[in-house]
Chains A and B, each alone.
Chain A
């Protein structure tokens, strides 16, 4: 205890803790839009932070590891009774404590932005963060081992830069051996087998690094290398090919009371109170169109595995980039109605076959028809094309107008033909 108490205060543990908190808090603040109001969002951001925190831990560890040689105590401490591994244990534990307390503080700070708003506490997010914590400890100890071998003042900055570059050059798409774990969607969850494989790897790496720090013989070093290699091998062998699967809990749709149905994934259930009324109003507005949608589903359109089936029955609201720090829609009810009615309740469908411009122009004309407002800014070419299309459409008899809009909606949902042609000719259903 004597040595641990002293090392906590006098080793680089405090420096490491302070640097971790400062860098981590800055990144949490800068990336606030990515994670607030969701536990899993915070958890994956805690893992994304490792992109910067692992290099910091390596560098602080390397500085600590070089202390004995810089201080010139090897002569004196080589004559003491306590064996070298025992001497290293308190400082290694102090470094681990420093980085763990700092990481926990970041999690606690982040949870202030999550706890009041999160509608869904499920999922394995604590394990996601715990594996990241193990990776940080492994980095600090690995840094100590390197610093002990190369006790130069250049070692910490070199490690910092190279670990940073190394991560940038490595495959960023969630390799099992990489500390950073980036989620493709709010509705995704990391496969438990993948998380277990990462636990094995970082746990093994931490053990190997500690062995390396305390090693006094070539055999101990060889053992450390063997442990690290074995952990890497086992974890690569058992890790599934895809890191992320659909979160069965988080992605399950929950619906607001009453009809027509307005639903959102459980993890985003907080959007429902504000969404329900504008959504039903939009359904009423679209109802005259023969193939009008009959229900509204909010989801994340950015990740194929959770994309809803494309059908005219469902009005899909993409949640990406539309939520604020409390997990609610950023837009006011009026803005929400605009989002819902855009393209007469369809998603955009640009395709090289007909081009981006025609899709936008058709969208603007259809939006203008359902909202009763001008099709769009008449200042650009699409705007003028959209406006012309809208006025031609309005000149037709009302049943023909509705038939054209239905043809347009079908084309948009199938995404197989030019939506502008559908709107101007009304051809095949």
Chain B
């Protein structure tokens, strides 16, 4: 049932994509991306509609790529034979996190753990741990419908973490969180990222600066920049718009990328 212990050929990278393309009809949402991700917290930054969510969905095996190749945990993503084993090792918080309102927090997290085919004996303990990790220990017995937006979002993070995933995909995880909760989530992500490949999609530049070891900027389905947060901060100058060095770097890199794209045409 589980994957063999010896590493698959591309095990060095948790995720490796080359010429990855996703089309919806005539529209190209992801346009020939070459990206690799290993352990650590990786930020996926870009304007709205840049293709971030499409990329996250493909990485989460929610929808298929239409071109190029993608290996997740060493396995080709189109490989149905290994899909189930790969999915056991994924954690995913979609942009629109749906949940059963009648379930309690604990029931929902345990239910997702069951869906991820965790051994039944491990489920109660694992659920309790992640619920405490997102600071909802005192709400574990409350119905989901009674929670505030920020609490629901934290349950979303908890369900993604419950199976100790090797790849953790969080699409806009800080939406609805108050400043204190955001600070806590960033710390949690840094902690998880020590052994896990965490990919955080966001349009909030300050999240990236605080939580991520490196950044990919996506624009119109292409990689506009890939590098460390320090490189991102250093890319901007006083003339670029933004309230922080990272924001100025982001606008500068985006502008340079667009200039290159226009020139290439």
A residues contacting B by CB (< 8 A) are 1-3, 6, 9-10, 67, 71-83, 87
A73, closest chain B residue (CB): B98
Residues of A within 8 A of B101 (CB): 71
Q: Which of A1, A71, A87 has the most CB of B within 10 A?
A: A71
* CB proximity to A under 8 Å, residues B98-113: 98-103, 107, 110-113
Contact partner, A76, options B88, B94, B110, Cβ 8 Å: B94
Q: How far is the CA of A52 from the CA of B204 in the complex (A)?
A: 56
| 10 more A-B residue pairs beyond the given contacts A2-B113, A3-B114, A74-B98, with a C-beta to C-beta distance below 8 A | A2-B123, A6-B111, A9-B107, A10-B102, A71-B101, A72-B98, A79-B92, A80-B116, A80-B117, A81-B85
B87 an interface residue at 8 Å Cβ cutoff?
Answer: yes
Instruction: Report if A6-B117 is in contact (Cβ < 8 Å); known contacts: A73-B98, A78-B62.
Output: no
Q: Is the interface of A mostly helix, strand, loop or mixed?
A: helix
Q: How far is the CA of A82 from the CA of B111 in the complex (A)?
A: 11
B residues contacting A by CB (< 8 A) are 57, 60-62, 84-85, 87-88, 90, 92-94, 96-103, 107, 110-117, 120, 123, 159
A78, closest chain B residue (CB): B62
> Can you pick out 11 interface pairs between chain A and chain B where the beta carbons lie within 8 Å of each other?
A2-B114, A71-B100, A73-B100, A75-B96, A76-B93, A77-B115, A78-B62, A80-B87, A80-B115, A81-B117, A82-B116
A9, closest chain B residue (CB): B107
Q: How far is the CA of A73 from the CA of B103 in the complex (A)?
A: 13
B63, closest chain A residue (CB): A78
B160, closest chain A residue (CB): A76
Please name the 4 residue pairs, one residue from A and one from B, whose CB atoms are nearest each other, closest first: A72-B98, A80-B115, A73-B98, A81-B87
Q: How far is the CA of A72 from the CA of B101 in the complex (A)?
A: 11
Residues of A within 8 A of B114 (CB): 2-3, 82
A80, closest chain B residue (CB): B115
Residues of A within 8 A of B113 (CB): 2
Instruction: Report if A3-B111 is in contact (Cβ < 8 Å); known contacts: A10-B102, A71-B101, A81-B116.
Output: yes
Q: Which of B60, B93, B115 has the most CB of A within 10 A?
A: B115
Q: How far is the CA of A81 from the CA of B92 in the complex (A)?
A: 12
CB <8 Å contact, B112 and A80: yes
A74, closest chain B residue (CB): B98
Q: How far is the CA of A1 from the CA of B85 in the complex (A)?
A: 21
Q: How far is the CA of A23 from the CA of B93 in the complex (A)?
A: 42
Residues of B within 8 A of A73 (CB): 98-100
CB <8 Å contact, A6 and B98: no
CB <8 Å contact, A2 and B110: yes
Smallest CB–CB gap between B197 and chain A, Å? 16
Residues of A within 8 A of B110 (CB): 2, 6
Residues of B within 8 A of A10 (CB): 100, 102-103, 107
Smallest CB–CB gap between A86 and chain B, Å? 9
Smallest CB–CB gap between A73 and chain B, Å? 4
Q: How far is the CA of A78 from the CA of B87 in the complex (A)?
A: 10
Smallest CB–CB gap between A12 and chain B, Å? 9
Q: How far is the CA of A81 from the CA of B159 in the complex (A)?
A: 14
Residues of B within 8 A of A71 (CB): 98-101
A72, closest chain B residue (CB): B98
CB <8 Å contact, B90 and A79: yes
Contact partner, B96, options A1, A72, A81, Cβ 8 Å: A72
B83, closest chain A residue (CB): A81
A90, closest chain B residue (CB): B114
Q: How far is the CA of A2 from the CA of B111 in the complex (A)?
A: 7
Q: How far is the CA of A177 from the CA of B87 in the complex (A)?
A: 44
Residues of A within 8 A of B102 (CB): 10
